[in-house]
Amino acid sequence: MEYNEDVFSSIKESPMRDILHKTTSILQGRGKVISLREHSEEKACVSDVRKNFIYLASEAQHEEEAAEPRVYIKKYFDSASNDERFCFRVKGFFYVNHSRRLMKVDYCHTLRINLHWKAKKSSPKKTVTMA
């Protein structure tokens, strides 16, 4: 069997990635926490991405008018240590029928991204769109 060196020279090595998934019950089974964590090391930066999904169910007597989910966004950049952090959180609730009972499910979804840039120059240029 003959190998073509040109084919193998164009393949990039994938970065080292560690992924952790965890599901936990809370408050005597009334809620769940689902956590995902990914850590990767590349040439330019080290990234740590965390996703958390929290659900908490409680019995409701009647349905309230559903409000818009609340969205929180935070961004931080430290040019001295070349650390960049981003946090995106959404909180809200919805209703479900379970065994002929009305249940209100409160949720909180969180995305956290931590980047450490190895080079002394700042992170790559980003496009900004203002709505």
pLDDT (tens, 9 = 90+) of the chain, 131 residues, equals 343 444 433 344 455 667 777 888 777 778 899 899 998 888 888 889 999 999 999 988 888 887 899 999 999 888 888 889 999 999 999 998 888 889 999 999 999 999 888 876 555 566 666 65
Supply the pTM of this predicted model: 0.69
Query: What is the rounded CA–CA span in Å between residue 114 and residue 104?
Result: 33
Return the residue matching tokens 């709505």.
131
The dihedrals phi and psi of 9, each to the nearest 5 degrees, come to -75, -20
DSSP code string of 8-74: HHTPPPPPEEEEEEEEEEETTTTEEEEEEEEEEE-SSEEEEEEEEEEEEEEE-SSPPPPPPPEEEEE
Residue 6, H or E segment: helix 5-9
